């Protein structure tokens, strides 16, 4: 009887504190909280590279509707990131992009994704229509560039 009472108290304590299993689901192994899934349409772009002279966004050009989230996935050859040229985006887009990248490296430059299958979401909610030219900072010299058209 003593063991069942202790077991019941432990179970109630775990439920009151949220339970260990539930916490593990919300916080991945890297310690970062899981990203909230976007509610808008999502378009995926793979970031690839083989460590020599081939690094690319696949596809290298996309057309999206305003409000779409672009999910950049580290397929191979990281670290990768997404940076936008300030003089090649529509007027008013810089504030929207910076807000969509809260853990960015710099103005108009996302954080790095370093592990295989790691993803980086950039939401174009409230983004002006037009052409956005981007690149991967570590692989710019290898020609890793991307064009996003919002229309």
Positions marked catalytic: 80, 136, 139, 144
CA distances from 8 to 4, 18, 96, 140 (A): 6, 15, 51, 59
The rounded distance, in Å, linking the Cα atoms of 19 and 27 is 13
Q: Which two tokens stand for residue 126?
A: 């409230």
What is the CA angle 80-82-84, rounded to 5? 150
Q: Which two tokens stand for residue 131?
A: 């052409």
> How far is residue 53's CA from residue 44's CA, in Å, rounded to a whole number?
23
């Amino acid at each position: 009887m003593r063991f069942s009472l202790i077991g019941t108290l432990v179970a109630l304590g775990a439920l009151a504190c949220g339970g260990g299993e539930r916490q593990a689901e919300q916080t991945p192994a890297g310690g970062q909280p899981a990203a909230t899934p976007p509610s808008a349409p999502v378009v995926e772009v793979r970031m690839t590279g083989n460590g020599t002279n081939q690094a690319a966004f696949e596809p290298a050009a996309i057309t999206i509707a305003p409000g779409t989230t672009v999910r950049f996935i580290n397929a191979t050859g990281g670290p990768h990131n997404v940076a936008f040229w300030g003089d090649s985006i529509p007027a008013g887009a810089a504030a929207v992009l910076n807000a969509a990248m809260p853990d960015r490296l710099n103005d108009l430059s996302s954080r790095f994704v370093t592990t295989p299958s790691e993803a980086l979401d950039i939401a174009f909610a409230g983004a002006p229509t037009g052409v956005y030219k981007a690149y991967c900072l570590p692989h710019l010299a290898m020609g890793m560039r991307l064009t996003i058209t919002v229309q």
